[in-house]
Amino acid sequence: MRKKLIINNAFLVFFSLLLLFFASLIAIVAINNNNSKTEVQGYLHIACEVFDGDNATQTATTISKANSDIRITIIDLLGNVIIDTSDVEEFESHLDRPEIQNLGEAFMRYSKTLEIQMLYVAQLDDGYFVRVAIPLHSINTIVNWYSLIGLLSLAVILGLSILLSTSLSKRTLAPINQVIGQLGSIVNTKNYYGIDSVETLIEEINSIKAEINTKMMAIKQEKDKLDYIINDMKQGLIVISEERNMILINAYIANILNFKQEDVVNKNYLYLIRNQEIQAAIEAAFANQKVKAVDLALHGRIYLLSFNLIENSWLGRGVVVGVLDVTEQRNVEKIKREFFANASHELKSPLTSILGYQQMILEGIIDDEQAVKEATAKTIKEASRMNQIIIEMLELSKLESGIQFVDEDVFLTGIVKETIEQYQQELTKKQITVHLDLAQVTKRINHTLAVELIRNLIDNAMKYNKTKGLITITLDTKKLVIHDTGVGIPEADLSRVFERFYRVDKAKSKEQGGTGLGLAIVKHICNLYGYQINLQSVVDQQTTITIHF
């Protein structure tokens, strides 16, 4: 590239000087010609002044005296030369000469007689053509000298310009080479050998441009990927800088707090976080203290906020606030807590009763044989209630454990009939009529769970029925409907009877040997198989429970 620059520069200087040289040469020649023309015209005028028609020789002598270079020719109207100071004898007619043809106009011509370039001009005066000519050898001398000096100067200037452009290009290209080299080393691994032509420079810039584009694309893709992950995750993320500005806030947080990300990003966190407990936690995290996660109730959901101090080169010190929706988790925990409290309570009362009876027998407070028998019977009843509670609790925990139950084709019609037979004694005792409308239905279900489901529903229909009541059971491939004409369930309790240990009338349920877990088990089984439960009831009249398969 340097060589090319120098050559280009040298050519430019050379042609400029050449142009200048020729232009000034043409101008010098033109000025000189002009001056010569004026000079020759002046001599012609003097000659005409001196010439009176008879003094040709005298005129020629007078003018020649003034300037020996001047050639005077007097020609008669026939073109014959009367006198010519050039001493050359000319016999042919001069009438065809351009200066004679165009009087008063100067003509330049090579004189064969004198063998030099001459400038001619003629005028008709006193019946003769007076012609004056001056040699133009002076212009040639000027041109020769000018050409010599011009060419010498041209060579010197050219040399100097080459020297100058060499050092200039060196200095100009050095930083470009350096920059290109550095750029090249930033974006690619290939070695850079320097620019030696414009093409190389363009090639180098293009390849760097391509490299930069590729790298930019890769960076953009990485950023898009990260943005997608950060904004698509089902967890909230806020990154707070040491200046307490929220430099990153993801879409999840924006959605739950209902604002636009761009409206809060880079703003102080106090703009968004007003809760003092959370503010204190953030500041504690900045102080590198151990910070406990905080539960935040918002729009009916519970969010767990964690705070972590991070330190890195681009952020310095910052705090990352993680936000996780723990509503379901908290609800499960609450249910579990309540379940344990209820279960302990449910088990505690029969146990207290058992202990009380046994204590009284032991201490002889109950010593009558009949009374001991009654106390023992009550103890057994309470113990079997405890047993029933424990069985049903185990049942529930099995259902909740997520274990895979083995399903088979179960003939539901048969199970309904068998269950009714098992309850026959109690049904007769309560004088309850059972009406069956059963299609032949087989379902893919776990056998034990199918028995459990049907047994619990029939058990309730019988337990909460009135004496001389009616139970109607309808079964087809789409549904199982169990209808009873019993005490019914108040509307306010309809949604709650499926909760564990929930009973509308605790005393009545207890008296009937209920545990409050039956419908919770039914609901679990239905959930497991995707069955829908529908409960309708009118207090003191009837209850209908429908299982849609």
Residues that bind ligand ADP (CB under 6 A): 456, 460-461, 464, 484, 486-489, 497, 502-505, 509, 514-520, 543
End-to-end C-alpha distance for the chain, whole angstroms = 86
Give me the least distance between CB of 519 and ligand ADP, in Å please: 3
Judged by beta carbon, residue 239 or residue 528, the one nearer ligand ADP is 528
Judged by beta carbon, residue 360 or residue 481, the one nearer ligand ADP is 481
Give me the least distance between CB of 457 and ligand ADP, in Å please: 8
- Longest CA–CA span in the chain (Å) reads 199
Rounded CA-CA distance 297/299 in Å is: 7
Judged by beta carbon, residue 119 or residue 521, the one nearer ligand ADP is 521
Residues 177, 194: contact at Cβ < 8 Å? yes
Burial 451-479 (b: 16+ CB within 10 A, else e): bbbbbbbbbbbbbbbeeebbbbbbbeeee
Rounded CA-CA distance 416/453 in Å is: 10
Judged by beta carbon, residue 75 or residue 504, the one nearer ligand ADP is 504
Judged by beta carbon, residue 350 or residue 488, the one nearer ligand ADP is 488
Give me the least distance between CB of 230 and ligand ADP, in Å please: 46
Query: Would you tell me the crossing angle of helices 518-529 and 369-400 to the nearest 10 degrees?
Result: 20
Rounded CA-CA distance 473/131 in Å is: 154
Contacts by 397-402, CB closer than 8 A, 24 or more apart: 399/521, 399/524, 399/525, 399/528, 400/524
Give me the least distance between CB of 483 and ligand ADP, in Å please: 9
Residue corresponding to tokens 């299982």: 547
Pick the closest to residue 94 from 133, 51, 139, 147 (CA basis): 133
Give me the least distance between CB of 489 and ligand ADP, in Å please: 5
Residues 407, 444: contact at Cβ < 8 Å? yes
The CA dihedral of 345, 350, 352, 355, to the nearest 10 degrees, is -150
Judged by beta carbon, residue 250 or residue 515, the one nearer ligand ADP is 515
Judged by beta carbon, residue 2 or residue 523, the one nearer ligand ADP is 523
Give me the least distance between CB of 504 and ligand ADP, in Å please: 3
Judged by beta carbon, residue 437 or residue 511, the one nearer ligand ADP is 511
Judged by beta carbon, residue 113 or residue 534, the one nearer ligand ADP is 534
Give me the least distance between CB of 541 and ligand ADP, in Å please: 10
Judged by beta carbon, residue 292 or residue 435, the one nearer ligand ADP is 435
Judged by beta carbon, residue 301 or residue 508, the one nearer ligand ADP is 508
Residues 498, 501, 506, 509, CA torsion sign: positive
What is the distance of C-alpha 170 from the center of its chain? 43
Give me the least distance between CB of 302 and ligand ADP, in Å please: 28
Give me the least distance between CB of 437 and ligand ADP, in Å please: 18
Give me the least distance between CB of 253 and ligand ADP, in Å please: 42
Residues 242, 283: contact at Cβ < 8 Å? no
Pick the closest to residue 528 from 468, 414, 448, 473 (CA basis): 448
Rounded CA-CA distance 91/278 in Å is: 130
Judged by beta carbon, residue 301 or residue 506, the one nearer ligand ADP is 506
Residue corresponding to tokens 């020719």: 73
Residues 169, 150: contact at Cβ < 8 Å? no
Residues 284, 285, 288, 292, CA torsion sign: positive
Q: What amino acid occupies position 481?
A: V
Strand partners for 484: 471, 543
Give me the least distance between CB of 513 and ligand ADP, in Å please: 8
Query: Is residue 525 packed enough to be buried (19+ CB in 10 Å), middle (13-18) or exposed (0-12)?
Result: buried
Give me the least distance between CB of 369 and ligand ADP, in Å please: 34
Pick the closest to residue 161 from 5, 18, 1, 6 (CA basis): 6
Residues 236, 303: contact at Cβ < 8 Å? yes
